[in-house]
Amino acid sequence: MSEDPSAAPTAMESPDAWQIGDQVWALGDAAPLHTSILFVDLVSSTDLASVMGIEEYAQFSRTFRSACQRQCDYFFSEYWARKYLADGRDYAYRLVGDELVVYLHTQKPHDDVYQLTCLAIALKCAWLGVDLNARRVISGRPTFELAAGIHSGPVWAERTPDGFDRSGFAINLAKRTEAVSREGDRFRIFLTDPAFKLVNRKMRNLLFGPRRAVEMKGVSPTIAVHELVESFVDPTRRLAPEFSASFAKVAELALRTNTFDMWIHSCIQTARGENTDSVSEDSMRLCRDVLNFDPSNAVALYFSAERESQRGDLETARLYLEDLTRHWPGFGDGWLELGRILEKLGDVDAARRCILQARRNGVRESEHPLPQRHDW
């Protein structure tokens, strides 16, 4: 049958049609859209506004918005230049006052949640390194903090020339999650149950605290959330260049002076681990300082074990890794490293158990063969 050249193009043929997963979106289309949502806000911003002058607080807010905009632009448009489309098809973000919201809606929701978690970590690092926080650290005062909440679920979306107009409970829930994340004591990055289930054990470089049920204003019944408590994500790879250098400078000073925030330690050690072939004596000293008052710290235990292994002290490395797997039984890479150490020590049966535990917790079989007994 011949085609009518005057016929209107289909949605797929329309040059302004977008396809997300199996769904094609033409202008004006409205339907549910699975979206992962990140809210980031300044901790105690209302208290700060009440004690700062109008002009001073306006400058403070501009600094926050500028840092967030630069970091989001770098993360999506430069670091992930080939991964995400910047016209609103894959992501969008907006800044209102001292609040940032980011929407990510690709066909891989588990990766969306993971990337938003990495972005939240990068935003905290970028914010720590801005001049106003650097000055506070130098003067011995605590830095201004960021808190973040992440949720993943369906929103009602209408396709517009600029992207999507979104509404729905999922957005409200992400915002409420950010509000309760201020009560956290590590990264202050909270994920709701649906978001957590998408990444737990799939993304092995993130460790979360116990599930906790919290009451949220205007939300019934109670909602369960999980705090990010340890991260093996290298934030410096994801930081805009100007923030990468400033974070390293301010973070080192912060850990030596007025604060010992564990999220800063995790970011520093992981960045060092990614950028050097061995664990330095300075990193080891920092690990010892952390373990003195936080014996279950996963990052400190992991890099301490790596340091001892590099020095040839496999027995001590084994002790660190046994502590690590006892405190963090769901950390697959901890089991993997312990299995490798035990295999070198000749304890094949124990090594086999550890490698099997690693596989139960997300480590692929191809990463390390199951140790074999010599009598088999």
Average pLDDT, the chain: 88
Concatenated DSSP letters of 196-208: HHHHTTTSTTEEE
CATH class of this structure's domain 235-367: mainly alpha
Assess contact for 111 and 119: CB atoms under 8 A: no
CA 215 to chain centroid, in Å, comes to: 24
CA-CA distance, 132 to 268, in Å (whole number)?
20
Look at residue 376 in the predicted model and tell me its pLDDT: 53
* Closest residue by Cα to residue 152 from 91, 195, 103: 195
Alpha-carbon span 220 to 40, nearest angstrom: 23
Mean pLDDT of 68-96: 91
Q: What is the pLDDT of residue 195?
A: 97
Instruction: Identify whether the C-beta of residue 232 lies closer than 8 Å to the C-beta of residue 270.
Output: yes
Domain spans, the chain: 19-231, 235-367
Q: Which of 300, 278, 277, 304 is nearest to 290 (CA)?
A: 300
SS (H, E, C) 165-193: EEECHHHHHHHHHHHHHCCCCCCCEEEEH
> In sequence order, what are the beta bridge partners of 32?
156
Report percent pLDDT > 70 for the chain: 91
Neighbours of 373 (CB within 10 A): 8
Cα(227)–Cα(211) distance, rounded to whole angstroms?
8
- Compute the 3-state secondary structure of the chain and give helix, strand, coil in percent, each to the nearest 5: 50, 20, 30
Residue with tokens 């990055």: 189
CA R_g for the chain = 23
pLDDT at position 12: 45
pLDDT band at 47 (very low <50, low <70, confident <90, very high): low
Q: How many alpha carbons lie under 13 Å from residue 293 in its C-beta half-sphere?
A: 6
pLDDT digits (tens, 9 = 90+) for 2-42: 344 444 444 444 668 888 888 899 999 999 999 999 999 98
213 pLDDT band (50/70/90 cuts)?
Answer: confident
CA distance 18 to 352: 49
* 221 upstream amide cis, omega within 30 of 0: yes
For 305, phi and psi rounded to 5 degrees?
Answer: -65, -40
Q: Look at residue 162 in the predicted model and tell me its pLDDT.
A: 86
pLDDT of residue 217: 72
| Residue 23 DSSP SS3 | strand
Instruction: Retrieve residue 99's tokens.
Output: 């609040």
The CATH number, out of the four listed (3.10.180.10, 3.30.70.1230, 3.40.50.720, 3.90.850.10), of the domain defined by the range 19-231? 3.30.70.1230
